[in-house]
Amino acid sequence: MTESVQQAVEQQTRPVDPAAEGPGGWQTPDYTVVETALEVTAYSLSKR
């Protein structure tokens, strides 16, 4: 392997420490649960 490829492989195999990423590192994404008509229909049919 070339030196740059070897460095890239070594960087990918190192464990990631979320605390080391700094304040802008790992964040929990915001999400909203949305029921679609298909999900409501499937739930209604399964409860019959």
Q: Tens digit of pLDDT for each residue in 13-48?
A: 555 665 565 566 667 778 777 777 777 777 777 777
* pLDDT for 2: 63
* Whole-prediction pTM: 0.22
Q: What is the largest CA-CA distance in the chain?
A: 64
Give the model's pLDDT for residue 31. Answer: 79
The answer to whether the beta carbons of residues 24 and 32 sit under 8 Å apart is no
